[in-house]
Amino acid sequence: MELIPPTNFDDVLVDAFKAMGIKEVYGKLAVDFIGGGRFASGLPNVGRVNFLKHIKKLNDAGIGFNYILNAPCLSSREFTRTGRRRIKKLLNWLDLNGVKKVTVAIPYLLQVIKDNYPDFKVCVSTYAQVDSYQKAKYWQDIGADEITLLDTSVNRNFKLLKAIRSKISAKLRLIANTGCLHHCHLLQSHALSASHGSQESYFHKPGFAVDYCVICCRYLRLLDPVNFIRSQWIRPEDIGIYEAEGIDGIKLIDRRCSAATIIAITKSYYERKHHGNLLDLLPAFHGKSPKNLTSILLKIKYCLHPYENNIFNILKLYKTIEGIDIYIDNIKLGGFLSGLKSRDCDYLDCSECGYCNKVAQEAVRYDKDYIDRMLKAYKGLINDIVKGEL
């Protein structure tokens, strides 16, 4: 099974990936016309020259590159003359520089690419929310080469995985180290706001973000820590189960992380084992982004707008969401997935089932006073956002 990790354009990743036999990575410029699934304020601001140098080093090491164009909304700019010109300008630049694989979430964009760049391979993003055979078939019929299925509703639905795999010839991928909730109600809003936060000329201040969805997500977990177990992650030890189901690739996140964190996560999935805290594999909860002068200056650039936001409350927000001090013993989760295969979570009331609660009692450790303090802090942040205090 293929592993597809991200790159943050730190060249130290190249040799590490080559040693693990990685054949493809993904990433993008922090800001471009189409945008992607991450706010620009949290991404490394690599320039085009260094971007191309990194791609060349990857290619020299036998590692392909997949450019992310997975914004699910372009505000209909894609249907204007200017918008179409801007799209083709970006695609021409990728084509000229040897990038022949992209990931999209908009059907029209896939069709434009296939019509104008027939040698491009196109992967469908999880932001396209492919969670049924019918959706997968539609994307395959219009030319998709690979499809990343929606992790929030597919990762643990083995009956659905079998149904899709049995009738779809396109390659299928899953995101393994997501921290998203089962059938997350914040997904669509989060995908749209993140995408607009990485698009050129969308806002007068592109890249700025108050990530309301992440704050709400963390609050729900702190309110009931069993939600960490209900998330749709896949343990490194369980990759073989999905391989047996016919899944072709496992995608890893997150391109906002430091090189050391990306390497550590990739190594665990490459070796198919992890001893320690499961949250170390889930970047959504440990906040291990690069800490250097450039990243600090970027946050200032995106957030220092005193007429638009309260800089002191913004600083409080960033400090609060750095990480979560909870320990999930990965070893004690052995057999957890097998227990889920006999349950149909889409039709069960979690409070009546109780399976995840029992597992959480064994595997999840935390300090109650810490949880209470963090609940108060996150509730305060949500209140500030709702009341406009930020």
Q: How far apart are CA 52 and CA 99, in angstroms?
A: 10
3-state DSSP assignment of residue 298? helix
Tens-digit pLDDT string for the chain (390 aa): 999 999 999 999 999 999 999 999 999 998 999 999 888 877 888 899 999 999 999 999 999 999 999 999 999 999 999 999 999 999 999 999 999 999 999 999 999 999 999 999 999 999 999 999 999 999 999 999 999 999 999 999 999 999 999 999 999 999 999 989 999 999 999 999 888 888 886 544 555 567 889 889 999 999 999 999 999 999 999 999 999 999 999 999 999 899 999 999 999 999 999 999 999 999 988 755 555 555 556 556 666 665 566 666 666 666 666 678 899 999 999 999 989 888 888 888 988 999 999 999 999 999 999 999 999 988 988 998 898 877
Give me the domains of the chain, ranges plus CATH numbers: 2-387 (3.20.20.70)
HEC assignment per residue over 151-207: HHHHCCCHHHHHHHHHHCCCEEEEECCCCCCCCCCCHHHHHHHHHHCCECCCCCCCC
Q: Where on the phi/psi map is residue 143: left (φ > 0), alpha (ψ -120 to 50), or beta?
A: left
CA dihedral 295, 297, 301, 302 (to 10 degrees): 30
What residues contact 313, with CB distance under 8 A and at least 6 apart?
384, 389, 390
Q: How far apart are CA 103 and CA 175, in angstroms?
A: 14
